[in-house]
Each structure stands twice: as C-alpha cells, then as structure tokens.
Amino acid sequence: MIRQQARGKTRRVGTVALVGALALLTGVARAEEPPKLAFVVGKVLVMDKADTVINNAVVLVSGGRIEKVGKASDVAIPQGYRRIDMPRHWIVPGFVDCHNHTAGSLSDLNDMVYLTNPGLDTLNTVQPESDDMWMARAGGVTTVLLIPGSGTNISGFGTISKTAGQSVSDVVVRSPGSIKVAQAGNPERYWWGVGRMFMNFNTRQTLEKAQAYHEAWEKFERGEATEKPAFDPIFDGFRGLFRKEFVASVHTQIYQVVMTTVDMLARKMDLRTVLDHSEFDGWKVAPLIREALAAGRSIYTIQGPRAYHLDGTQRKIHGNAARWWQAGNPLLGINTDAPVVAQEQLPFQAAMGCYYGWVPYEGIKGLTRIPAEALLLDDQIGTIEAGKQAEFGVWTGDPLDTRSACEMTVIGGRIVYDANVRRRW
Amino acid sequence: MRRTGAWRAAMAVIALAAVSVEASPPTKIALTGGRIVPVVGPEIEKGTILIEHGKITAVGASVELPFDAMEVDVSGKVLFPGLVNAHDWQGLDIPNENLDIGAALDVYDAIDPSRLFFENSLRDGVTTVHIIQANNCVIGGISRVVRPIGLDVDEMTVKPRAAVKISASPKGGYDRMAQWAILREAFAELADYRERLAEQRYEEEQKKLKKDVDVGPAEARKRGAELIRPQDYDDAHANLHELSQGRLDAWVYVGAATDVGPAVKFAKENGFFERVVFVLGPDTFKAVDELKVAGRPVVLDVNLDFRERDPLTGKLSETFVPKVIADAGLTFAMLPHPDASLAERYLTYQAARCIREGVARETALAAITINPAKMLGLGDALGSLEIGKAGNVVVYGGDPLDFNTWVEQVYIDGILAYDRAKDVRIRRLLEEPGAEEKPKEPAGDSAASDPAHQGDKPEAGSGASDPAKPENKEESKPDSPAPPPPSPEPGDDDASVERASDRADRAESRRRKDNAKSKGGPDA
C-alpha cells in the first residue's frame, strides 16, 4: 500500500514512532509487487469530468496503478497479465466515505475532556482488518475518513484510511486527514449544557489560536521573524489545515448551524470545508454556499446519514440530497456515518438519496469523484483513469441498484475482495 | 439534537427572507394616498411616502414623484413606522448561556434566521428587533439589532455590538450578595488585568528600545498605561473595557425596585452610567423616584399591569406601570409578550392599553417606535416616518391601535418584506379549509347527493361569503348541503413553500438547462 505523507506536514514524534514500529512489524508481508491484471468488463464508469462511460472495456492494472483504460477493441492485453473476464460487469471507482467511525476502535470515539480538544488524533485508534473493514470493501467502499465523534466542538484529527491492509501503515493514506468540528447538535450536552453563542465563540477562538500559531511559524520560516516560536504539540497539527493540505470535516445540520459553518469556517477562515450530515432544513443554506463557491471558497457537502427530512409544518417529506441538488449545490456527496449506517451501505445511502429525488448518475459521482475531491485525494483516486491508483469495485450492475453486488474489489492494484474466494453477497 | 416546533416551522421565514432580499426591489417606491402617522410630527390625512434606495426621501400631503418611482396606491390604509422590539432573546437557540461572565459572547453566534419568531415579527409589523440575552445572567454578552429578514446574520444586521447585557438582579441559584460579588469581581479583575497589561506593555516597549526596565512594577504600570493599544485586550476583557470607557451601551436588568439603587451606583462607578438603559422587572416601577433621578431610559416588563394583594387587609391593588413611568416623564419602551398566543404579543395592543389607562397617544406610540430606536442609538435612523430614515413602513388596514386592524404590508429598507395577501399561515388559520379551492369546484349541487356530508359545514365555500358565485345559495336546494371541502393539501397551496423553494427552483431550472447543454454522460 502506498503511504502518502501530507505535503510538507510536520508530524509528532510519538505517532511517527508508533506507525514506524507497526510498519516494521508487518512490513514484510507487503514486499511483493502488486500483480499485473487485465480486467475485461462490460462497462467502465470512468467518473471523470467529461462523464465518460466505456462499454466493453479493458482496464490494465500494474504496479498498483491503472495503466490503461479503453475499449476492448483498442487495448491489447500484453503478455504477463492475469486476464479477468467479467464481460457483463461494471467497473466503478472505489467509494469514498467522508464520515466513518468504524475504521478505528469505537470505544475511543469521543474523548470529551474540553469543549474543544484540538490535540487528539484518530490515528491512535486505527484498526486495520476489522470485520467492519472487510464488510466495507466487500461493498465496494475502498477509502474512508475515520473521524472522532461529535461529543465536543473540536474532537480531534481524522485519518484517511484504506479498507484493506494488514497494518496501520498499510491502511493510512493521510494523517491528519481532517480536523473534526462539530458545529452544534451534540456538544450542547457538554458539562451543564452550552448554547451556540458559547460554542461558536469557543470554536472560533480555538481555530484562531491555531491560525495565529501557524502564522507565527510561517513568518519565522519565511525569515520575517527572528525569534523562533515555541513548539505547541496541540496546535502544530493544525498547520496543514491552514496550508489547505487537509480539510475541516464538520458535523453540521439544521439551518442556523450549517449557516454558521459556511460563515465561520469557509467564508471567514477560508478553510477547505466539508459539510457532513447537512440534514433537516440545512439545504436552505445553498444560496450562501453558491455565493461562497463563486467567491473562491471550497465547500463540499457530504450528506447523510439521514436521507430525508419530515417537515411537520409543511407536512412534506424533503429528500435531503435532492433538495441540496435542486438548490444548486454542485459539490454533493453521501456518507454513512458508520456505524450509524453500516459502512458497506454507502451506495445504498446514495440510492436512498435518489429514491427521494436525487439524480442517479450524480449519486454515483457523490460516492466517488466528489468525496475524493473533497478530501484532496482526486489526484490519486475517484476516477478510472490511467495513472491513478487502481482502486475500484467490479459490480454486477449499476451500484445504485440495490440488487447489484460488488463481486471484486481492488485497492492499490491488489484484489482485496473476491466473491469467488469468499463471498459476502 | 433539539427539534422544536420552530425548526419544523423554519421554512417560511427563510422564504420571506429569500423572496424579499433576492427579488431586488425597485429602488424607488412611492406609497400614495394613505393616512400617515409619522409618530414624530403631525399626522397627514392623505399623503405620500417616497422611499429611495431604502431611505425615506419625502413625506407629505403632496410629493412630486420621480419618473422612475414605482407607485403603490395605499388609499384607505394607514402608514406607520415599522415597530421596534426593544429587547428579545427569541431569535437565539437558548435565552442565556450557562456562564456568569459572558462578556466575550455575542448573539451573532446564536441568532437563527430560520426561527418562526422572525416571521411572526414581520407579521406583527415589527421591522427591527434588538436580540439580546435574557435576564438570567450576570454579564450576558453582546447584543445586536437586526431586521427580521435575511439569509444570514450579516444580512439581517442593522447594528452590531448594540449593548452589553448585565443583570443587577440575581441569576437563578444566586442571591443578591453572590450576584453583586461576581459583578464587582468582574470589574475589579478588569482593573487588575489592565494594570498587568500596562506593566507588560511598558516592558515590551523598553525591550524594543533596547533599554532595561529600571523602575518598579508600580511605576511601570503607571508608565505603561498609555502604551496599551485596543488590540492588546483579550476577548475576555475587551468588551468590558469598552464598556468601562463609556464606548459601549449597557442594558441592565433591574428585576426589582430594590435593585435600582445599586445598579445606578454601579454604573456610575464603572463609567457607563451615561450609556445605560434599565430593563425593568414587574415591580421595579416602585423605585420610580430613583429612576426619575437617574433619568435614564427604561424598558418595561411585558406585563404592563402589576397586581398585588395586601397581606393584612387582603385588598387587591392594581397598578398600570406605563402610566406611572409616563407621569414621571421617563423615556420608556414597551415589549411584546413572548407568548405568541396572548394579545400582549402585539406591540400595538400594548400601546392601545396605554391609551385606555390615560397615557397620551403620542407617548404610547413613541414607546413602540422612536423611543426604543433612540435607546439603541438609532434615533436618527429609524422609529418614525421622517426624511432620511430607513424605509421601514407598516401598511395597516386601519388605525394601528384598533384591534380589528391588520398589518397589510411591511416594508423594510424599501423592501416589501411581508404581504398579508400572500401569508399562507394566516390564510390557513383564518379561512375555512379548502375555501380558496372552491372556484375550481364544479357547481355546488353536483356533489350534494352524498348523505354522509349532510350538515357538514353548510356554508363551506358557497353562499354569500363567496362573491364569485353569488347565485349558488339561491340555486342550491334547502336539503342540499354544500359539497365536502376538498381535503386540505397545505403543501400544494403553500405559497410560502413556493417562495422558499423559489431560489432553489430557479437554480434547478438553470442547472437542468446547463446539464442538458454540457453533459453527454449516461444521465443526459
């Protein structure tokens, strides 16, 4: 498995040691080269910006990457490739779940010491090769963002992780992969109870402290300050956030709360913002998001796990994803909040979104390219294009059709799930 | 998470906001032919208000209209300044934070534009709301003046940082000694912080000049006092510092008569007496002499009459508070009751009661318009229909204080923010189910054969109340009741819903067009 270090990231000594030790223990098994594979399939959903679909296609995989994609008539299969004939199957990019808690140990979900806990990191909870992860990849889910719970307003760093791999170093793609912010709607229960006036003040103040720390170091590194700032283990991890190397993944829902997230994190602090949940009447914030996107801000909406909102006043059911989409929010994806909805049910979440009025093709996009972009992984995964990592599912049909099953999953060029060997569905 | 009725009711106010703000209103509007009650200045029996770019540019019996002004005929209506709600927490998620000294907090972080409260404010003719922490606090935080329209708080804002909320009466769980001890400590700590800051600043400056700190701490603090810059204050102290310098207003809750004296003294000692507004409790009026000496404006409790029983004689006495305050010559504002099911919810009802109790009409009207505007430092900007003020105009169907009068339209900064004709909730509450569906129905007697509906709503939809079909009543036989009303489908006839999704719909149709143009993928 390829381990990407976040660009220019400084890491804490302890975690490096931990990962290093684990890598040493289990690194031997990964020594062999990924195999050379030739998939002959009925359809490839490339999921690129041109919305390319290739029928009767061949996908060549070598060295862990996609070597070539094209029509079967155009792509010759070279010598030495294992030919996998699945002429009625679809290849779909591996699904990316931006809101997952099951890639780590659930007993370490929330460490509610303070109302904001910027020093904590889910990297210390990653559990490779759990049953949940096996289920995830059996469902075509290949990459997840493991984040801490929403018990406090800032609950720690998220970890982007593959759903297959023997060790922590095998599965971790990027750490930190995000900072988890819970804008409101859970942290209220902290202590004797807090309101949004205090929570938002406190969240903003924590982020501003981190920003000030980052700027002091930037100034020093640019040679504009002579005095070296003091190292702060709590805020040092935030530097990547302000360099836009990872995102703020935000537990946010309900109009005022989503509005605050857009205003505080995206508009004013100019952080790469991923709105998770985005339920209830949150979709009405779409005009503000459109304005912010037009002003160059980065906001992805990764909706879920609630597929619909029952509006008692109007006596209407609103499909959450559908409403976001109709309101003109183009960067829309889907999450499971596993274990709230099981991690392998990610495509089913998108199907539910479509059941309540979303657009099926957009639903698949919201499982692949959009979340990959949201997590800044789009140079590596999210589409079936030459040069990208070989990370996809081979499906019996449209993945949003509940009757379809993932028959084979490839991560890092290796077959990590094969229904012929051990069938899940 | 909380899922109150307000959440579920959130739709329409966003709708109102969306439609009013994005619909780019005409830049010049003339409301002509109505009776104008400007609150400040004489009434005009039949006149015109011209609003240009959100501000009133002309008021009078005859106003020459610019060629490009949109004329709205309001003959027979009464034009009144938008009402000002002087003190309300209801736009927030909770009334008070669980924190004694919340000086760093700002209602900005908790105002929810989707609250039903804002929609109701519009419906009641309120164009300006002072959102401020409730009284259960020591130092509650910073308040904000907003208009009840806008998609986010910035769009709603009329005046940020309007005042600091302080309570001179004990917060829940405290007695007066504890309350005052905490208040005193907050300002004593501020003084101490300032001293330490001065010393620190002096040392910093000396270091910058590459000089030694060659004086003792007392002298350093003295020298450093002028070196403190505004940005040196941290969040916890910045607002209290501003307050102590008389650069910020304070709204001080004095929940009982006994709290007035200490509150006045405390405000004077800490430098903000000239900027204080007293928010009174039910019996605080008993300290009217002290309040009169203080001469600061007051906000009355929502319950205007104070009842008490003599413990010895059992005799019940009742005091109408505004009368006492008005007779004392104090500037006062009245509040709407937070319980929307009470008549006291309407500021106009509160004013009308004043007149019954002998308060002058102009005093009563001022207490719901210009007085709260002045208290908020917005006396030049709103609260009356005068040239140069915001185009906040309520179009009433009759005299504002007549309780049969409806708010017909509300203009905020020249934007038509509320129109009763399009108010779906009012329609749903007041009209018979399906009444507006009637004209689509076939003739009344076609469905009359259904015996199951004998006696059901005999007047529903047909008869004299329906001018569209005056002949119905004569034609229908005495034993033929009207057809059953169609089952209500509020979702379908819900104009507010339509307005809510207005933007969304437009965006969707744009999107569809774009998709049709650009996308050649499997979904095209």
pLDDT 10s digits, A9-34: 444 444 444 444 444 444 334 558 99
Looking at every residue in chain A, the average pLDDT score rounds to 92
The torsion defined by the Cα of A394, A395, A399 and A404, in degrees rounded to 10, comes to -160
Nearest to B97 among A195, A256, A359 (CB): A195
For the record, the structure tokens of B152 come out as 């986010």
Contact A44, A51 (CB under 8 A): no
Cβ separation A326–B505 shorter than 8 A: yes
- What residues of A are in contact with residue B521 (Cβ under 8 Å)? 50-53, 361
| pLDDT for the residue B293 | 98
Contact A276, A250 (CB under 8 A): yes
Contacts with B177 (C-beta within 8 Å, 6 or more apart), sequence order? none
Phi, psi (rounded to 5 degrees) for B409? -140, 155
| The listed CATH number (2.30.40.10, 3.40.30.10, 3.40.1050.10, 3.40.309.10) that belongs to domain B1-82+383-449+491-519 | 2.30.40.10
For the record, the structure tokens of A258 come out as 């989503």
**Of A258, A212, A249, nearest to A234 (Cα)?**
A212
- Quote the longest CA-to-CA distance of chain B: 107
Q: Report yes or no: B92 at the A interface, CB cutoff 8 Å.
A: yes
Q: Report yes or no: A209 at the B interface, CB cutoff 8 Å.
A: no
Rounded average pLDDT over A398-406:
96
Residue A58 pairs in a beta bridge with A40, A70
Phi, psi (rounded to 5 degrees) for A123? -55, -30
- What residues of B are in contact with residue A313 (Cβ under 8 Å)? 5, 8-12
Rounded average pLDDT over A78-90:
97
Per the listing, tokens 């404006």 go with B297
| pLDDT for the residue B493 | 37
Min distance B478 CA to chain A CA atoms (Å)? 37
Distance CA A272, CA A177 (A): 12
SS3 for chain A is CCCCCCCCCCCCHHHHHHHHHHHHHHHHHHCCCCCCEEEEEEEEECCCCCCCEEEEEEEEEECCEEEEEEECCCCCCCCCCEEEEEEEEEEEECEEEEEECCCECHHHCCCCCCCECCCCEHHHHECCCCHHHHHHHHCCEEEEEECCCCCCCEEEEEEEEECCCCCHHHHEEEEEEEEEEECCCCHHHCCCCCCHHHHHHHHHHHHHHHHHHHHHHHHHHCCCCCCCCCCCCCCHHHHHHHCCCCEEEEEECCHHHHHHHHHHHHHHCCCCEEEEECCHHHHHHHHHHHHHHHCCCCEEEEECCCCEEEECCCCEEEEHHHHHHHCCCCCEEECCCECCCCHHHHHHHHHHHHHCCCCHHHHHHCCCHHHHHHCCCCCCCCCCCCCCECCEEEECCCCCCCCCCEEEEEECCEEEEECCCCCCC
Per the listing, tokens 């992780």 go with A161
Residue B514's closest chain A neighbor by CA? A328
Q: Report yes or no: B514 at the A interface, CB cutoff 8 Å.
A: no
Nearest to B112 among A253, A256, A362 (CB): A256
| A339: preceding bond cis by omega (within 30 degrees) | yes
Contact A37, A415 (CB under 8 A): yes
Quickly count: other Cβ atoms within 10 Å of residue B164's Cβ.
26
Distance CA A283, CA A357 (A): 14
Contacts with A393 (C-beta within 8 Å, 6 or more apart), sequence order? A91, A92, A94, A95, A140, A142, A399, A406, A408, A409, A410
Chain B, 442 to 481: residues with Cβ < 8 Å from chain A are none
Cβ separation B497–A316 shorter than 8 A: yes
| pLDDT for the residue B512 | 53
Q: Report yes or no: A40 at the B interface, CB cutoff 8 Å.
A: no
Residue B150's closest chain A neighbor by CA? A288
More confident residue, A86 or B499: A86
- Would you give the DSSP letter of residue B390? B
Contact B194, B241 (CB under 8 A): yes
Chain A, 66 to 105: residues with Cβ < 8 Å from chain B are none
Domains of chain A: 33-94+382-425 (2.30.40.10), 95-381 (3.20.20.140)
**Of A99, A108, A190, nearest to A145 (Cα)?**
A99
Distance CA A266, CA A181 (A): 13
All structural domains of chain B with their residue ranges: 1-82+383-449+491-519, 84-361
Q: Report yes or no: A205 at the B interface, CB cutoff 8 Å.
A: yes
Residue A182 pairs in a beta bridge with A251
Q: B1-82+383-449+491-519 and B84-361 share one CATH topology?
A: no
Cβ separation A195–B93 shorter than 8 A: yes
Min distance B108 CA to chain A CA atoms (Å)? 7
- Would you give the DSSP letter of residue B370? H
| Angle between helical axes of B176-208 and B235-244 (0-180°, round to 10) | 100
pLDDT digits (tens, 9 = 90+) for A119-164: 999 999 999 999 999 999 999 999 999 999 999 999 999 999 999 9
Q: Where are the beta strands (DSSP E) in B53-119?
A: 55-60, 70-73, 78-81, 83-88
Distance CA B141, CA B164 (A): 6
Q: Report yes or no: A112 at the B interface, CB cutoff 8 Å.
A: no
Cβ separation B109–A205 shorter than 8 A: no
- What residues of A are in contact with residue B503 (Cβ under 8 Å)? 286-287, 327-328
Contacts with B489 (C-beta within 8 Å, 6 or more apart), sequence order? none
Min distance A359 CA to chain B CA atoms (Å)? 8
| pLDDT for the residue B125 | 98
Burial B94-107 (b: 16+ CB within 10 A, else e): bbbbebbbbbbbbb
pLDDT at A193 over 60: yes
Cβ separation A327–B504 shorter than 8 A: yes
Query: Which H or E run includes B371?
Result: helix B370-375
Nearest to A200 among B22, B109, B152 (CB): B109
Residue A47's closest chain B neighbor by CA? B521
Distance CA B444, CA A107 (A): 67
| pLDDT for the residue A313 | 79
Q: Report yes or no: B21 at the A interface, CB cutoff 8 Å.
A: no
Q: Report yes or no: A232 at the B interface, CB cutoff 8 Å.
A: no
Query: Which H or E run includes B21?
Result: helix B10-22
| pLDDT for the residue A246 | 98
Please tell us whether the domain made up of B84-361 is placed in CATH 3.40.630.30: no
For chain B (length 524 residues), average pLDDT per consecutive 10? 40 41 71 97 97 97 95 97 98 95 97 96 97 98 98 97 98 97 97 96 94 91 94 95 96 98 97 97 97 98 96 96 98 95 95 97 98 98 98 97 95 96 88 59 42 39 37 39 38 38 49 48 37
Task: For residue A170, give the amino acid letter.
Answer: D
Contact B237, B231 (CB under 8 A): no
Query: What is chain B's length?
Result: 524
- What residues of B are in contact with residue A362 (Cβ under 8 Å)? 523
Q: Are strands A37-45 and A82-93 parallel, antiparallel or unpaired?
A: parallel
Cβ separation B503–A287 shorter than 8 A: yes
| pLDDT for the residue B25 | 61
The DSSP-derived string for B164-175 is EEEESSPPTT--
Contact B85, B129 (CB under 8 A): yes
| Angle between helical axes of B260-269 and B176-208 (0-180°, round to 10) | 10
- What residues of B are in contact with residue A45 (Cβ under 8 Å)? 522
Q: Report yes or no: B113 at the A interface, CB cutoff 8 Å.
A: yes
Residue A259's closest chain B neighbor by CA? B152
Q: Report yes or no: B14 at the A interface, CB cutoff 8 Å.
A: yes
Please give the C-alpha separations between residue B298 and each of B23, B84, B253, B261, in angstroms, as whole numbers: 38, 14, 10, 14
Nearest to A198 among B7, B105, B152 (CB): B105
Rounded average pLDDT over A36-43:
98
Quickly count: other Cβ atoms within 10 Å of residue B355's Cβ.
14
Chain centroid offset of residue B235 CA:
28
The DSSP-derived string for B405-461 is PPEEEEEETTEEEEEGGG-HHHHHHHSPTTGGGGGGS--GGGGTT-GGGTTS-TTSS
* A to B CB pairs, distance under 8 Å: 156
Please give the C-alpha separations between residue A242 and each of A262, A267, A376, B14, in angstroms, as whole numbers: 16, 14, 14, 33
Contact A162, A198 (CB under 8 A): no
Contact A26, A129 (CB under 8 A): no
**Of B2, B4, B81, nearest to B362 (Cα)?**
B81
Contact B197, B241 (CB under 8 A): no
B329's torsion region: left (phi>0), alpha (psi -120 to 50) or beta?
Answer: left
Q: Report yes or no: A260 at the B interface, CB cutoff 8 Å.
A: yes
- What residues of B are in contact with residue A325 (Cβ under 8 Å)? 508, 511
Rounded average pLDDT over A103-111:
93
Min distance A185 CA to chain B CA atoms (Å)? 5
Quickly count: other Cβ atoms within 10 Å of residue B409's Cβ.
22
- What residues of A are in contact with residue B508 (Cβ under 8 Å)? 325-328
Rounded average pLDDT over A282-289:
97
SS3 for B192-205 is HHHHHHHHHHHHHH
Cβ separation B106–A50 shorter than 8 A: no
Q: Report yes or no: B132 at the A interface, CB cutoff 8 Å.
A: no
pLDDT at A223 over 60: yes
Residue A262's closest chain B neighbor by CA? B152
| pLDDT for the residue B511 | 52
